[in-house]
Amino acid sequence: MTTITARNIVIEALNAASIPELSSNKGIIEFSSGVGDIKISSLELDSLAKMEFCIYIEIHYGVSIVPDRLDEFETLSRLASHIQDILDD
Amino acid sequence: MTLIEKLRNFRKVIPDIQALVSINESICYRDLSDIVAAGAATLYQHGIKPNDCVGLIVADELEHILASLSLLALGTRQITLPSHDSSDKHRDLILRSQVRFIVTDQLDVNNNLNLDLNYISWSRTNFLPINRSLRFTEGMLLISTSGTTSNSNIVPFTETQISDQAERHFDYSHERLLRLSSVEFNASKRHRLYSLWNGGTNVFRPNGGLQEIISHAISQEVTCIDVSRMHVSEICSIPNIKMLSGIKVRTGGTEVPMVLRNEFSSMVPGSLYVRYASTETGAISMAGPNDHNIEGSCGKPLPGVKVEIVNDFGETLPSNSIGEIRVQAKGMATNYLDNQEQTTRRFRDGWFYPGDNGCIQTDGNLIVYGRKDDMIILNGINIFPFEIEHVLEMHPDVDYAIALALPSTIHGQIPVAAVQLKPGSKVGLEELMNYSREKLALKCPRRILITEALPRNGQGKLLRREAQSFFMQKKI
Protein backbone atom coordinates (compact mmCIF):
# COMPACT_ATOMS: atom_id res chain seq x y z
CA MET A 1 0.00 0.00 0.00
CA THR A 2 1.37 3.42 -0.87
CA THR A 3 1.56 6.35 1.47
CA ILE A 4 -0.89 8.30 -0.71
CA THR A 5 -3.42 5.45 -0.46
CA ALA A 6 -3.12 5.31 3.29
CA ARG A 7 -3.54 9.09 3.49
CA ASN A 8 -6.65 8.92 1.34
CA ILE A 9 -8.08 6.28 3.63
CA VAL A 10 -7.67 8.75 6.49
CA ILE A 11 -9.47 11.43 4.49
CA GLU A 12 -12.28 9.00 3.59
CA ALA A 13 -12.75 8.27 7.26
CA LEU A 14 -12.73 11.98 8.15
CA ASN A 15 -15.46 12.52 5.55
CA ALA A 16 -17.46 9.71 7.07
CA ALA A 17 -17.11 11.43 10.43
CA SER A 18 -18.73 14.51 8.84
CA ILE A 19 -15.93 16.90 9.67
CA PRO A 20 -17.18 20.32 8.54
CA GLU A 21 -15.47 22.15 5.65
CA LEU A 22 -13.03 19.33 5.11
CA SER A 23 -13.05 19.59 1.34
CA SER A 24 -12.07 23.28 1.42
CA ASN A 25 -9.31 22.76 3.96
CA LYS A 26 -6.09 23.60 2.11
CA GLY A 27 -4.04 21.51 4.47
CA ILE A 28 -6.15 18.43 3.71
CA ILE A 29 -5.65 18.89 -0.01
CA GLU A 30 -1.89 19.03 0.44
CA PHE A 31 -1.99 16.10 2.82
CA SER A 32 -3.86 13.96 0.33
CA SER A 33 -1.24 14.58 -2.34
CA GLY A 34 1.53 13.44 -0.03
CA VAL A 35 2.92 16.72 1.12
CA GLY A 36 2.22 18.51 4.35
CA ASP A 37 0.73 17.25 7.51
CA ILE A 38 -2.04 18.20 9.88
CA LYS A 39 -2.13 18.05 13.63
CA ILE A 40 -5.05 15.97 14.78
CA SER A 41 -5.77 18.46 17.57
CA SER A 42 -6.33 21.19 14.96
CA LEU A 43 -9.30 19.31 13.57
CA GLU A 44 -11.08 19.66 16.93
CA LEU A 45 -12.71 16.26 16.68
CA ASP A 46 -15.37 15.66 19.29
CA SER A 47 -15.95 12.20 20.75
CA LEU A 48 -18.67 11.43 18.22
CA ALA A 49 -16.44 12.32 15.28
CA LYS A 50 -13.63 10.21 16.70
CA MET A 51 -16.01 7.29 17.12
CA GLU A 52 -17.30 7.58 13.55
CA PHE A 53 -13.76 7.93 12.20
CA CYS A 54 -12.60 4.76 13.96
CA ILE A 55 -15.74 2.81 13.04
CA TYR A 56 -15.17 3.69 9.39
CA ILE A 57 -11.57 2.47 9.43
CA GLU A 58 -12.53 -0.72 11.23
CA ILE A 59 -15.48 -1.60 9.11
CA HIS A 60 -13.97 -0.82 5.74
CA TYR A 61 -10.36 -1.76 6.34
CA GLY A 62 -10.36 -4.00 9.41
CA VAL A 63 -8.03 -1.76 11.38
CA SER A 64 -9.03 -1.23 14.99
CA ILE A 65 -8.19 2.12 16.56
CA VAL A 66 -9.45 3.21 19.97
CA PRO A 67 -11.19 6.60 19.56
CA ASP A 68 -9.82 7.96 22.83
CA ARG A 69 -6.27 7.24 21.66
CA LEU A 70 -6.49 9.02 18.33
CA ASP A 71 -4.78 12.12 19.71
CA GLU A 72 -1.73 10.04 20.61
CA PHE A 73 -0.86 9.85 16.93
CA GLU A 74 -0.54 13.64 16.99
CA THR A 75 -0.63 14.04 13.20
CA LEU A 76 -2.61 12.59 10.33
CA SER A 77 0.57 11.32 8.65
CA ARG A 78 1.45 9.21 11.69
CA LEU A 79 -2.07 7.88 11.73
CA ALA A 80 -1.85 7.06 8.02
CA SER A 81 1.49 5.31 8.56
CA HIS A 82 -0.01 3.24 11.34
CA ILE A 83 -2.86 2.14 9.07
CA GLN A 84 -0.43 1.46 6.24
CA ASP A 85 1.77 -0.69 8.50
CA ILE A 86 -1.14 -2.82 9.65
CA LEU A 87 -2.54 -3.33 6.22
CA ASP A 88 0.85 -4.17 4.77
CA ASP A 89 1.39 -6.94 7.35
CA MET B 1 -61.62 -33.42 23.28
CA THR B 2 -58.71 -34.62 21.13
CA LEU B 3 -58.59 -34.06 17.41
CA ILE B 4 -59.39 -37.66 16.58
CA GLU B 5 -62.36 -37.61 18.95
CA LYS B 6 -63.52 -34.39 17.31
CA LEU B 7 -63.37 -35.97 13.87
CA ARG B 8 -65.49 -38.89 15.07
CA ASN B 9 -67.97 -36.37 16.44
CA PHE B 10 -68.01 -34.32 13.26
CA ARG B 11 -68.82 -37.48 11.31
CA LYS B 12 -72.27 -37.25 12.86
CA VAL B 13 -72.62 -33.53 13.51
CA ILE B 14 -71.32 -31.97 10.27
CA PRO B 15 -71.05 -34.93 7.91
CA ASP B 16 -71.44 -32.99 4.68
CA ILE B 17 -69.05 -30.14 5.42
CA GLN B 18 -65.88 -30.34 3.34
CA ALA B 19 -62.87 -31.07 5.50
CA LEU B 20 -60.15 -31.36 2.86
CA VAL B 21 -60.31 -30.03 -0.69
CA SER B 22 -57.58 -30.54 -3.26
CA ILE B 23 -57.58 -30.08 -7.03
CA ASN B 24 -58.64 -33.69 -7.55
CA GLU B 25 -60.65 -34.56 -4.51
CA SER B 26 -62.95 -33.34 -1.79
CA ILE B 27 -63.33 -35.23 1.50
CA CYS B 28 -66.17 -34.39 3.82
CA TYR B 29 -66.19 -34.99 7.54
CA ARG B 30 -68.38 -38.07 7.12
CA ASP B 31 -65.63 -39.79 5.13
CA LEU B 32 -62.62 -38.29 6.85
CA SER B 33 -63.08 -40.14 10.10
CA ASP B 34 -63.47 -43.45 8.23
CA ILE B 35 -60.40 -42.85 6.10
CA VAL B 36 -58.35 -42.04 9.19
CA ALA B 37 -59.60 -45.16 10.98
CA ALA B 38 -58.75 -47.31 7.96
CA GLY B 39 -55.34 -45.66 7.69
CA ALA B 40 -54.61 -46.36 11.34
CA ALA B 41 -55.71 -50.01 11.01
CA THR B 42 -53.55 -50.45 7.92
CA LEU B 43 -50.47 -48.96 9.51
CA TYR B 44 -51.07 -51.12 12.60
CA GLN B 45 -51.11 -54.21 10.43
CA HIS B 46 -47.81 -53.11 8.93
CA GLY B 47 -46.27 -53.26 12.37
CA ILE B 48 -46.54 -49.70 13.67
CA LYS B 49 -47.69 -49.72 17.26
CA PRO B 50 -48.72 -46.99 19.73
CA ASN B 51 -45.76 -44.96 21.00
CA ASP B 52 -43.59 -45.96 18.03
CA CYS B 53 -41.87 -43.01 16.44
CA VAL B 54 -42.66 -42.54 12.77
CA GLY B 55 -41.09 -40.24 10.20
CA LEU B 56 -43.50 -38.88 7.60
CA ILE B 57 -42.24 -38.21 4.08
CA VAL B 58 -45.41 -37.40 2.18
CA ALA B 59 -45.27 -34.46 -0.22
CA ASP B 60 -48.89 -34.48 -1.39
CA GLU B 61 -50.64 -32.15 1.05
CA LEU B 62 -53.97 -33.94 1.30
CA GLU B 63 -52.33 -37.35 1.68
CA HIS B 64 -49.93 -35.91 4.24
CA ILE B 65 -52.77 -34.74 6.42
CA LEU B 66 -54.53 -38.10 6.11
CA ALA B 67 -51.35 -39.96 7.01
CA SER B 68 -50.70 -37.64 9.90
CA LEU B 69 -54.22 -38.08 11.27
CA SER B 70 -53.92 -41.86 10.91
CA LEU B 71 -50.70 -41.82 12.89
CA LEU B 72 -52.34 -39.68 15.57
CA ALA B 73 -55.25 -42.11 15.72
CA LEU B 74 -52.75 -44.95 16.13
CA GLY B 75 -51.20 -43.23 19.14
CA THR B 76 -47.75 -42.88 17.61
CA ARG B 77 -45.20 -40.13 17.85
CA GLN B 78 -44.69 -38.62 14.43
CA ILE B 79 -42.22 -36.21 12.94
CA THR B 80 -42.39 -34.62 9.50
CA LEU B 81 -39.36 -35.20 7.31
CA PRO B 82 -40.00 -32.65 4.57
CA SER B 83 -39.42 -34.09 1.13
CA HIS B 84 -37.48 -30.93 0.21
CA ASP B 85 -34.99 -31.37 3.04
CA SER B 86 -31.60 -33.01 2.64
CA SER B 87 -30.72 -36.54 3.71
CA ASP B 88 -28.48 -35.06 6.38
CA LYS B 89 -31.38 -33.13 7.86
CA HIS B 90 -33.58 -36.23 7.76
CA ARG B 91 -30.88 -38.28 9.38
CA ASP B 92 -30.47 -35.77 12.18
CA LEU B 93 -34.20 -35.68 12.96
CA ILE B 94 -34.52 -39.46 12.69
CA LEU B 95 -31.72 -40.14 15.13
CA ARG B 96 -32.78 -37.49 17.61
CA SER B 97 -36.42 -38.63 17.60
CA GLN B 98 -35.56 -42.33 17.55
CA VAL B 99 -37.66 -42.94 14.46
CA ARG B 100 -38.21 -46.61 13.62
CA PHE B 101 -40.67 -46.35 10.75
CA ILE B 102 -40.90 -44.15 7.69
CA VAL B 103 -44.32 -43.68 6.14
CA THR B 104 -43.96 -42.28 2.66
CA ASP B 105 -45.80 -41.75 -0.60
CA GLN B 106 -42.55 -41.59 -2.51
CA LEU B 107 -41.89 -44.89 -4.18
CA ASP B 108 -38.29 -44.06 -4.93
CA VAL B 109 -37.27 -43.37 -1.35
CA ASN B 110 -34.23 -45.53 -0.77
CA ASN B 111 -32.64 -46.29 2.50
CA ASN B 112 -29.60 -44.22 1.70
CA LEU B 113 -29.38 -43.14 5.28
CA ASN B 114 -27.81 -46.46 6.35
CA LEU B 115 -30.17 -46.64 9.27
CA ASP B 116 -32.25 -49.56 10.44
CA LEU B 117 -35.66 -48.26 9.40
CA ASN B 118 -38.91 -49.86 8.25
CA TYR B 119 -40.34 -48.18 5.18
CA ILE B 120 -44.10 -48.32 4.73
CA SER B 121 -45.77 -47.08 1.60
CA TRP B 122 -48.71 -44.73 2.11
CA SER B 123 -51.40 -45.49 -0.41
CA ARG B 124 -55.12 -45.47 0.21
CA THR B 125 -55.59 -48.11 -2.48
CA ASN B 126 -53.90 -50.57 -0.12
CA PHE B 127 -56.05 -49.73 2.89
CA LEU B 128 -57.45 -52.51 5.02
CA PRO B 129 -61.04 -52.41 6.27
CA ILE B 130 -61.76 -50.28 9.30
CA ASN B 131 -61.40 -52.11 12.56
CA ARG B 132 -63.57 -50.19 14.99
CA SER B 133 -62.54 -52.41 17.88
CA LEU B 134 -59.05 -50.91 17.77
CA ARG B 135 -58.57 -48.19 20.34
CA PHE B 136 -55.31 -46.47 20.85
CA THR B 137 -53.71 -43.96 23.14
CA GLU B 138 -53.29 -40.29 22.32
CA GLY B 139 -50.79 -39.54 19.58
CA MET B 140 -47.99 -37.01 19.62
CA LEU B 141 -46.44 -34.57 17.17
CA LEU B 142 -42.74 -33.85 17.26
CA ILE B 143 -42.23 -30.48 15.67
CA SER B 144 -38.83 -29.20 14.65
CA THR B 145 -38.31 -25.48 14.94
CA SER B 146 -37.23 -23.53 11.92
CA GLY B 147 -33.86 -22.73 13.43
CA THR B 148 -33.69 -19.29 11.90
CA THR B 149 -31.72 -17.88 14.77
CA SER B 150 -30.24 -20.98 16.33
CA ASN B 151 -29.91 -24.69 15.77
CA SER B 152 -33.19 -26.51 15.27
CA ASN B 153 -34.96 -27.87 18.35
CA ILE B 154 -37.61 -30.61 18.49
CA VAL B 155 -40.75 -29.72 20.41
CA PRO B 156 -43.07 -32.55 21.52
CA PHE B 157 -46.83 -31.92 21.62
CA THR B 158 -49.51 -34.31 22.74
CA GLU B 159 -52.78 -34.41 20.87
CA THR B 160 -54.38 -32.66 23.83
CA GLN B 161 -51.92 -29.79 23.55
CA ILE B 162 -52.64 -29.44 19.84
CA SER B 163 -56.35 -29.39 20.65
CA ASP B 164 -55.83 -26.70 23.30
CA GLN B 165 -53.97 -24.59 20.75
CA ALA B 166 -56.72 -25.21 18.21
CA GLU B 167 -59.29 -23.83 20.64
CA ARG B 168 -57.77 -20.35 20.21
CA HIS B 169 -58.79 -20.43 16.56
CA PHE B 170 -62.52 -20.90 17.01
CA ASP B 171 -63.04 -18.62 14.01
CA TYR B 172 -61.69 -21.43 11.82
CA SER B 173 -65.00 -23.24 12.25
CA HIS B 174 -66.52 -21.23 9.42
CA GLU B 175 -63.39 -20.57 7.41
CA ARG B 176 -62.29 -22.08 4.16
CA LEU B 177 -58.56 -21.86 4.63
CA LEU B 178 -55.84 -21.91 2.01
CA ARG B 179 -52.19 -21.70 3.00
CA LEU B 180 -49.47 -20.91 0.52
CA SER B 181 -46.81 -22.89 2.35
CA SER B 182 -46.93 -26.67 2.25
CA VAL B 183 -48.15 -28.84 5.13
CA GLU B 184 -44.62 -30.18 5.26
CA PHE B 185 -43.80 -26.94 7.06
CA ASN B 186 -44.84 -27.37 10.65
CA ALA B 187 -46.72 -24.09 11.12
CA SER B 188 -48.77 -24.84 8.05
CA LYS B 189 -49.52 -28.37 9.21
CA ARG B 190 -50.62 -27.25 12.64
CA HIS B 191 -53.05 -24.70 11.27
CA ARG B 192 -54.52 -27.38 9.04
CA LEU B 193 -55.08 -29.49 12.13
CA TYR B 194 -56.52 -26.50 14.00
CA SER B 195 -58.96 -26.03 11.15
CA LEU B 196 -60.06 -29.67 11.35
CA TRP B 197 -60.44 -29.48 15.11
CA ASN B 198 -62.82 -26.56 14.63
CA GLY B 199 -64.76 -28.16 11.79
CA GLY B 200 -63.42 -25.84 9.12
CA THR B 201 -62.46 -26.51 5.52
CA ASN B 202 -58.91 -26.90 4.28
CA VAL B 203 -58.36 -25.97 0.66
CA PHE B 204 -55.01 -27.00 -0.78
CA ARG B 205 -53.18 -24.84 -3.25
CA PRO B 206 -52.68 -25.90 -6.85
CA ASN B 207 -49.31 -25.83 -8.57
CA GLY B 208 -48.52 -22.58 -10.30
CA GLY B 209 -47.76 -18.99 -9.48
CA LEU B 210 -49.44 -16.57 -7.16
CA GLN B 211 -51.96 -15.45 -9.75
CA GLU B 212 -53.15 -19.02 -10.35
CA ILE B 213 -53.34 -19.72 -6.65
CA ILE B 214 -55.44 -16.64 -5.96
CA SER B 215 -57.77 -17.46 -8.87
CA HIS B 216 -58.15 -20.95 -7.46
CA ALA B 217 -58.83 -19.56 -3.98
CA ILE B 218 -61.62 -17.40 -5.35
CA SER B 219 -63.14 -20.26 -7.32
CA GLN B 220 -63.08 -22.39 -4.16
CA GLU B 221 -64.70 -19.61 -2.13
CA VAL B 222 -61.73 -19.46 0.20
CA THR B 223 -62.34 -17.05 3.08
CA CYS B 224 -58.80 -16.86 4.41
CA ILE B 225 -55.40 -17.10 2.74
CA ASP B 226 -52.34 -17.58 4.92
CA VAL B 227 -49.12 -16.27 3.42
CA SER B 228 -45.56 -15.40 4.32
CA ARG B 229 -44.32 -11.81 4.49
CA MET B 230 -42.62 -12.31 1.15
CA HIS B 231 -45.96 -13.23 -0.40
CA VAL B 232 -47.55 -10.05 0.97
CA SER B 233 -44.99 -8.07 -1.06
CA GLU B 234 -45.71 -10.15 -4.13
CA ILE B 235 -49.46 -9.81 -3.72
CA CYS B 236 -49.09 -6.01 -3.67
CA SER B 237 -47.61 -6.25 -7.16
CA ILE B 238 -50.33 -8.28 -8.85
CA PRO B 239 -52.55 -6.19 -11.15
CA ASN B 240 -55.96 -7.36 -9.96
CA ILE B 241 -55.26 -7.39 -6.26
CA LYS B 242 -58.75 -6.04 -5.54
CA MET B 243 -60.17 -9.48 -6.26
CA LEU B 244 -58.97 -10.34 -2.76
CA SER B 245 -61.64 -8.09 -1.27
CA GLY B 246 -63.59 -10.01 1.30
CA ILE B 247 -60.84 -12.59 1.80
CA LYS B 248 -58.75 -12.41 4.94
CA VAL B 249 -55.03 -12.39 4.28
CA ARG B 250 -53.08 -13.61 7.28
CA THR B 251 -49.35 -13.44 7.72
CA GLY B 252 -46.86 -13.67 10.52
CA GLY B 253 -44.65 -11.62 12.63
CA THR B 254 -42.57 -8.61 13.09
CA GLU B 255 -41.16 -8.91 9.63
CA VAL B 256 -44.17 -7.13 8.21
CA PRO B 257 -43.18 -3.47 8.32
CA MET B 258 -45.79 -0.73 8.51
CA VAL B 259 -44.96 0.58 5.04
CA LEU B 260 -45.93 -2.82 3.61
CA ARG B 261 -49.02 -3.15 5.81
CA ASN B 262 -50.19 0.30 4.73
CA GLU B 263 -49.52 -0.44 1.08
CA PHE B 264 -51.51 -3.68 1.25
CA SER B 265 -54.33 -2.18 3.30
CA SER B 266 -54.74 0.73 0.90
CA MET B 267 -55.27 -1.72 -1.96
CA VAL B 268 -57.41 -4.24 -0.11
CA PRO B 269 -58.92 -2.51 2.93
CA GLY B 270 -60.01 -4.57 5.90
CA SER B 271 -58.17 -7.73 4.88
CA LEU B 272 -54.79 -7.88 6.54
CA TYR B 273 -54.12 -9.84 9.73
CA VAL B 274 -50.64 -10.12 11.22
CA ARG B 275 -49.98 -12.87 13.70
CA TYR B 276 -47.27 -13.26 16.34
CA ALA B 277 -46.52 -16.85 17.22
CA SER B 278 -43.84 -19.31 18.18
CA THR B 279 -43.46 -23.02 17.53
CA GLU B 280 -43.43 -23.64 21.26
CA THR B 281 -46.68 -21.82 22.06
CA GLY B 282 -48.63 -21.67 18.85
CA ALA B 283 -50.31 -18.40 17.96
CA ILE B 284 -49.90 -15.72 20.62
CA SER B 285 -51.64 -12.63 19.28
CA MET B 286 -53.21 -11.25 16.13
CA ALA B 287 -53.31 -7.73 14.71
CA GLY B 288 -56.52 -7.19 12.76
CA PRO B 289 -57.18 -4.66 10.01
CA ASN B 290 -57.62 -1.81 12.52
CA ASP B 291 -54.49 -2.59 14.53
CA HIS B 292 -51.80 -1.59 12.04
CA ASN B 293 -51.05 1.76 13.57
CA ILE B 294 -47.60 1.31 15.03
CA GLU B 295 -44.45 -0.46 13.86
CA GLY B 296 -44.28 -4.00 15.22
CA SER B 297 -47.95 -4.12 16.23
CA CYS B 298 -49.14 -7.69 16.74
CA GLY B 299 -52.56 -7.05 18.25
CA LYS B 300 -53.99 -8.40 21.47
CA PRO B 301 -53.25 -11.85 22.89
CA LEU B 302 -55.61 -14.58 21.71
CA PRO B 303 -58.09 -16.22 24.10
CA GLY B 304 -56.31 -18.43 26.58
CA VAL B 305 -52.96 -16.69 26.08
CA LYS B 306 -51.27 -14.53 28.68
CA VAL B 307 -48.40 -12.22 27.74
CA GLU B 308 -46.15 -10.26 30.06
CA ILE B 309 -43.16 -8.01 29.60
CA VAL B 310 -40.35 -8.53 32.09
CA ASN B 311 -36.96 -7.03 32.82
CA ASP B 312 -33.68 -8.91 33.13
CA PHE B 313 -34.61 -9.91 36.68
CA GLY B 314 -37.92 -11.43 35.69
CA GLU B 315 -39.95 -8.58 37.19
CA THR B 316 -43.12 -7.67 35.34
CA LEU B 317 -42.97 -4.25 33.75
CA PRO B 318 -45.85 -1.80 33.45
CA SER B 319 -47.59 -0.90 30.19
CA ASN B 320 -45.54 0.82 27.51
CA SER B 321 -42.26 -0.43 28.98
CA ILE B 322 -39.88 -2.33 26.70
CA GLY B 323 -38.58 -5.63 27.98
CA GLU B 324 -38.53 -9.33 27.26
CA ILE B 325 -41.77 -11.04 26.22
CA ARG B 326 -42.95 -14.10 28.10
CA VAL B 327 -46.00 -16.21 27.31
CA GLN B 328 -48.30 -18.56 29.15
CA ALA B 329 -50.86 -20.45 27.11
CA LYS B 330 -53.01 -23.53 27.38
CA GLY B 331 -51.49 -26.20 25.20
CA MET B 332 -48.05 -24.71 24.97
CA ALA B 333 -44.99 -26.95 25.04
CA THR B 334 -43.17 -27.58 28.29
CA ASN B 335 -39.77 -28.67 27.02
CA TYR B 336 -37.56 -29.47 24.05
CA LEU B 337 -37.05 -33.12 23.25
CA ASP B 338 -33.30 -33.27 23.55
CA ASN B 339 -31.98 -29.88 24.60
CA GLN B 340 -31.95 -29.49 28.36
CA GLU B 341 -29.92 -26.30 28.23
CA GLN B 342 -32.43 -24.51 25.98
CA THR B 343 -35.34 -26.00 27.93
CA THR B 344 -33.98 -24.52 31.14
CA ARG B 345 -33.33 -21.21 29.44
CA ARG B 346 -36.63 -20.83 27.60
CA PHE B 347 -39.17 -22.60 29.83
CA ARG B 348 -39.14 -21.08 33.31
CA ASP B 349 -41.73 -21.05 36.09
CA GLY B 350 -44.57 -22.01 33.79
CA TRP B 351 -43.71 -19.34 31.22
CA PHE B 352 -42.14 -19.62 27.81
CA TYR B 353 -39.64 -16.97 26.77
CA PRO B 354 -39.58 -16.70 22.95
CA GLY B 355 -36.48 -14.53 23.10
CA ASP B 356 -38.18 -11.41 21.78
CA ASN B 357 -38.29 -7.88 23.10
CA GLY B 358 -41.57 -5.99 23.13
CA CYS B 359 -44.00 -3.92 25.09
CA ILE B 360 -47.70 -3.97 25.86
CA GLN B 361 -49.48 -0.72 25.22
CA THR B 362 -52.10 0.69 27.56
CA ASP B 363 -54.84 -0.65 25.30
CA GLY B 364 -53.41 -4.18 25.55
CA ASN B 365 -51.81 -4.18 22.11
CA LEU B 366 -48.56 -6.13 21.91
CA ILE B 367 -45.67 -4.49 20.08
CA VAL B 368 -42.82 -6.83 19.16
CA TYR B 369 -39.44 -5.24 18.55
CA GLY B 370 -37.47 -8.28 17.51
CA ARG B 371 -35.16 -10.94 18.84
CA LYS B 372 -33.49 -10.03 22.12
CA ASP B 373 -30.28 -11.70 20.90
CA ASP B 374 -30.37 -9.62 17.73
CA MET B 375 -30.22 -6.33 19.61
CA ILE B 376 -27.24 -4.34 18.43
CA ILE B 377 -25.32 -2.49 21.12
CA LEU B 378 -23.03 0.18 19.71
CA ASN B 379 -21.00 1.80 22.45
CA GLY B 380 -23.90 1.40 24.86
CA ILE B 381 -26.57 2.53 22.37
CA ASN B 382 -29.31 -0.10 22.01
CA ILE B 383 -30.48 -0.54 18.44
CA PHE B 384 -33.26 -2.91 17.43
CA PRO B 385 -32.58 -4.33 13.98
CA PHE B 386 -36.14 -3.56 12.96
CA GLU B 387 -35.47 0.18 13.49
CA ILE B 388 -32.88 0.07 10.72
CA GLU B 389 -34.75 -2.43 8.56
CA HIS B 390 -38.00 -0.50 8.53
CA VAL B 391 -36.32 2.78 7.65
CA LEU B 392 -34.44 1.16 4.79
CA GLU B 393 -37.56 -0.60 3.55
CA MET B 394 -39.36 2.74 3.49
CA HIS B 395 -36.92 3.86 0.80
CA PRO B 396 -38.77 3.55 -2.52
CA ASP B 397 -36.01 1.44 -4.09
CA VAL B 398 -35.52 -1.05 -1.28
CA ASP B 399 -37.51 -4.28 -1.23
CA TYR B 400 -36.04 -5.99 1.82
CA ALA B 401 -33.41 -5.09 4.35
CA ILE B 402 -31.72 -6.93 7.16
CA ALA B 403 -29.73 -5.22 9.89
CA LEU B 404 -26.83 -7.05 11.43
CA ALA B 405 -24.27 -6.54 14.15
CA LEU B 406 -20.61 -6.77 13.30
CA PRO B 407 -18.61 -7.58 16.41
CA SER B 408 -16.02 -5.03 17.43
CA THR B 409 -13.61 -5.31 20.33
CA ILE B 410 -13.72 -1.53 20.67
CA HIS B 411 -17.33 -0.54 19.98
CA GLY B 412 -19.16 -3.70 21.04
CA GLN B 413 -21.20 -4.12 17.89
CA ILE B 414 -21.34 -2.04 14.74
CA PRO B 415 -24.68 -1.87 12.92
CA VAL B 416 -24.52 -2.73 9.24
CA ALA B 417 -27.18 -3.75 6.76
CA ALA B 418 -27.71 -5.81 3.65
CA VAL B 419 -30.47 -4.78 1.25
CA GLN B 420 -32.26 -6.34 -1.67
CA LEU B 421 -33.43 -3.71 -4.11
CA LYS B 422 -36.70 -3.70 -6.00
CA PRO B 423 -36.41 -4.98 -9.57
CA GLY B 424 -35.06 -2.35 -11.91
CA SER B 425 -33.87 -0.08 -9.14
CA LYS B 426 -30.58 1.70 -9.62
CA VAL B 427 -30.16 3.53 -6.33
CA GLY B 428 -26.54 3.89 -5.28
CA LEU B 429 -24.88 3.07 -2.00
CA GLU B 430 -24.06 6.67 -1.25
CA GLU B 431 -27.69 7.68 -1.54
CA LEU B 432 -28.76 4.84 0.74
CA MET B 433 -26.09 5.72 3.29
CA ASN B 434 -27.08 9.39 3.26
CA TYR B 435 -30.75 8.48 3.53
CA SER B 436 -30.26 6.17 6.49
CA ARG B 437 -27.94 8.63 8.21
CA GLU B 438 -30.56 11.34 7.91
CA LYS B 439 -33.35 9.13 9.27
CA LEU B 440 -31.49 7.17 11.92
CA ALA B 441 -28.57 9.38 13.01
CA LEU B 442 -26.43 7.39 15.46
CA LYS B 443 -28.46 4.24 14.83
CA CYS B 444 -27.73 4.21 11.12
CA PRO B 445 -25.91 1.26 9.54
CA ARG B 446 -22.27 2.16 9.04
CA ARG B 447 -22.06 0.02 5.95
CA ILE B 448 -24.67 -1.23 3.54
CA LEU B 449 -24.25 -4.08 1.12
CA ILE B 450 -26.56 -4.42 -1.85
CA THR B 451 -27.34 -7.99 -2.79
CA GLU B 452 -29.49 -9.63 -5.45
CA ALA B 453 -31.24 -11.86 -2.95
CA LEU B 454 -31.14 -12.02 0.81
CA PRO B 455 -30.83 -15.54 2.26
CA ARG B 456 -34.14 -17.16 3.22
CA ASN B 457 -35.44 -20.53 4.37
CA GLY B 458 -38.09 -22.52 2.57
CA GLN B 459 -40.87 -20.52 4.20
CA GLY B 460 -39.46 -17.21 3.02
CA LYS B 461 -38.11 -16.16 6.42
CA LEU B 462 -34.92 -14.15 6.28
CA LEU B 463 -31.98 -16.02 7.74
CA ARG B 464 -30.05 -13.67 9.93
CA ARG B 465 -27.11 -15.97 10.55
CA GLU B 466 -26.54 -16.64 6.89
CA ALA B 467 -26.83 -12.92 6.16
CA GLN B 468 -24.25 -12.30 8.87
CA SER B 469 -21.86 -14.81 7.28
CA PHE B 470 -22.46 -13.26 3.89
CA PHE B 471 -21.68 -9.83 5.25
CA MET B 472 -18.55 -11.00 7.01
CA GLN B 473 -17.25 -12.46 3.75
CA LYS B 474 -17.93 -9.28 1.82
CA LYS B 475 -16.82 -6.93 4.60
CA ILE B 476 -13.26 -6.29 3.56
Instruction: Choose the mutation target among A18, A53, A58 for the interface with B, i.e. most B CBs under 10 Å.
Output: A58
The model's confidence at residue B198, banded by pLDDT at 50, 70 and 90, is very high
Provide the mean pLDDT of chain B: 90
Facing A62 at nearest CB: one of B379, B416, B476? B476
Percentage of residues of chain A with pLDDT beyond 70: 94
Name the residue with higher pLDDT: B308 or B152.
Answer: B308
The model's confidence at residue B111, banded by pLDDT at 50, 70 and 90, is low
- Torsions phi, psi of A77, nearest 5? -70, -35
Q: CB distance from A59 to chain B under 8 Å?
A: yes
pLDDT for residue B391: 92
Q: Does the pLDDT at position B444 exceed 90?
A: yes
**Alpha carbon B64 to its chain's center:** 17
Distance between CA atoms of B318 and B94, rounded to whole angstroms? 44
Q: In this structure, are strands B272-278 and B248-252 parallel, antiparallel, or unpaired?
A: parallel
Interface contact A62-B475, CB threshold 8 A: yes
Q: How many CB pairs under 8 A join A and B?
A: 32
**pLDDT per residue over B223-246, tens digit each?**
999 998 778 888 888 888 888 989
pLDDT for residue B196: 97
3-state secondary structure of B192: helix
Planar angle of CA A52, A53, A57, nearest 5 degrees:
115
**pLDDT per residue over A16-26, tens digit each?**
888 766 766 77
Contacts of B215 (CB under 8 A, 6+ apart): none
Q: Does the pLDDT at position B190 exceed 90?
A: yes
- Provide the 8-state DSSP code for B86: -
Distance between CA atoms of B401 and B435, rounded to whole angstroms? 14
Shortest Cα distance, chain B CAs vs residue A61, angstroms? 6
Q: Provide the chain B residues 350-389 that lie in CB contact (below 8 A) with chain A.
A: 379
Q: Provide the chain B residues 387-426 that lie in CB contact (below 8 A) with chain A.
A: 406, 408-411, 414, 416
Q: What is the pTM of this model?
A: 0.81
Q: How many CB atoms lie within 10 A of CB B349?
A: 8
Contacts of B169 (CB under 8 A, 6+ apart): B191, B194, B195, B198, B283, B302
Interface contact B416-A61, CB threshold 8 A: no
Planar angle of CA B104, B105, B108, nearest 5 degrees:
90
Shortest Cα distance, chain B CAs vs residue A32, angstroms? 22
Interface contact B379-A51, CB threshold 8 A: yes
Q: How far is CA B139 from CA B34, B52, B164, B342, B441, in A?
A: 17, 10, 14, 25, 54
3-state secondary structure B300-321: EECCCEEEEEECCCCCECCCCC
